[in-house]
Amino acid sequence: MTDWREYLHLLQTPCYVYAWAEILARLKLLKDNLPENVHLYYAVKANSNLHLLKALKDKVDGLDISSDGEFEQAVLAGYAPQTFSFAGPGKTDAEIELAINSGCGSLSAESLDDLARIENIAQKLGKTAYVSLRVNPADLVEKFALKMGGKPTQFGFDEEDLAGLPKLKQAQIIGLHVYAGTQCLDAAALTENLQNIFKLAKKIGAPLRQINVGGGFGVDYHIGQEPLDAVAVCQALRKEAQKWPQTKIVLELGRYLIAPAGEYLCRVINIKKSRGKTFVIVDGGMHQNISAAGNLGQIIKKNYKIRNLTNPESEKCKVELVGCLCTPLDTLAVNLELPAPRPGDVLCVANSGAYGYTASPLLFLGHPTPSEYLLQDGKITLIRRGRRLVEFN
Ligand SMILES: *Cc1c(COP(=O)(O)O)cnc(C)c1O
């Protein structure tokens, strides 16, 4: 974690700050432990900041894309569509056309209907569509916090339906894609998931140029959580990938690469006592960091790791950390132990680099969006300024 105190005078709160060195360290750990035929893809939806995408361009082998907006943002950042894996349960005709016309490396078909639509559009365009079959595997791996497989879902072919594939002319099946779940901190469970995917690939039997094994690497967001042993998972992947030397194996990661590099800084506006509790009210909130607020699918409220940057030495106290929105949902932490904050103090929420800016309802209540800064080689750069609602007109 970076000590942002020496940069505070340069930052406007609320803001996100990203530490480039942390991203590089994670990339290096993965690259050092993966064989050549494993290609590391970055999932743009975790954080689509243009400056970050540009910085990542020479560091990753491709991108996981979920919409035409992300597609355009990635092209703007200088990526070639040949390195894209485009997946999503509700791709529009326009998105499929965009992917086919630009020679998108892999377009995931998520059902028989989806495959038929891709085939029809490719025929109409007279071009080849490079398709991966996204499969919802029958085996459920329990340790994923967020599951996309092993149950009825909108994602991917049910494994049982793979037998009935139609004859195709313009859609060329190049690969298999399984993204069964995410936010897994258990290396053994991730390993089991990988082994299941390679078993499935064998069962399919057809020659596969590409196997996209998803990712699901989790982040130790909450106090008391242990980090994932990513090296162990990479070693397990290495073992499997070595049995497929001619195949491009894709590992697609979002949060693992970027969440720990990003921190969310907000400033205390008011301290309010109410019926024995201390409410610390900040100038940010769930409209800017929905993940920390736990409104992105968390069932039991757990606190992110939060520091008082301005007064790290003050006496510890228990507080309710809330944002400035007019809803009780806007709660960043409950019963949080923190060095006693005072109005004006800057608080720092760790592990906020992914699904903070991109997943939050930024326009809710019309506050300016948070600024974003990158710390690289000791220099801090504003990489997206905060915008006010009127500027979106
Ligand atoms: C969102 C997504 C990812 C990235 O997930 P993380 O949890 O951020 O690692 C990877 N692949 C697909 C298909 C996705 O939809």
Nearest ligand 1 atom to alpha carbon 179 = 13
In this structure, the residues whose C-beta lies within 6 A of any atom of ligand 1 are 43, 45-46, 64, 66, 87, 179, 182-183, 214-215, 252-256, 354
Separation CA 214–CA 187 (nearest Å): 15
What domains are there in the chain, each with its CATH number? 5-14+260-385 (2.40.37.10), 80-253 (3.20.20.10)
Direct distance between the N- and C-terminal alpha carbons of the chain, in angstroms, rounded to an integer = 37
CA–CA dist 2, 186 (Å, integer):
26
Encode the chain (393 residues) as per-residue pLDDT tens digits. Answer: 899 999 999 999 999 999 999 999 999 999 999 999 999 999 999 999 999 999 999 999 999 999 999 999 999 999 999 999 999 999 999 999 999 999 999 999 999 999 999 999 999 999 999 999 999 988 766 677 777 777 888 999 988 888 888 899 999 999 999 998 899 999 999 999 999 999 999 998 788 999 999 999 999 999 889 999 999 999 999 999 999 999 999 999 999 999 999 999 999 999 999 999 999 999 999 999 999 999 877 777 899 999 999 999 999 999 999 999 999 999 999 999 999 999 999 999 999 999 999 999 999 999 999 999 999 999 999 999 999 988 988
What does the pLDDT read at residue 140? 64
Res 7: pLDDT:
96
Q: Is the dihedral of CA 354, 356, 357, 358 positive or negative?
A: positive
**Residue of 15, 104, 234, 326 with catalytic role:** 326
Residue ranges in 131-275 assigned as alpha helix (H): 187-204, 230-241, 255-258
Identify the sign of the CA torsion 68, 165, 112, 147.
negative
Burial label, 215 (beta-carbon count in 10 A; 0-12, 13-18, 19+)? buried
Burial code (b: 16+ CB inside 10 Å, e: under 16) for 338-364 equals: bbbbeeebbbbbbbbbbbbbbbbebeb
Q: In this structure, what DSSP letter does residue 222 have?
A: B
**How many angstroms separate the CA atoms of 193 and 154, rounded?**
20
In the residue annotation, 326 being an active-site residue is answered as yes
CA dihedral 355, 155, 82, 251 (to 10 degrees): 60
Name beta bridge partners: 181.
147
Q: What is the pTM of this model?
A: 0.96
Pocket test for ligand 1, best of 64, 177, 190 (most atoms within 8 A of CB): 64
3-state secondary structure 286-334: CCCCHHHHCCCCCCCCCCECEEECCCCCCCEEEEEEECCCCCCCCEEEE
| Ligand 1 atom nearest to 217, measured from its CA | 9
CB 175 within 8 Å of CB 204: no
pLDDT score of 332:
97
pLDDT digits (tens, 9 = 90+) for 34-83: 999 999 999 999 999 999 999 999 999 999 999 999 999 999 999 999 99
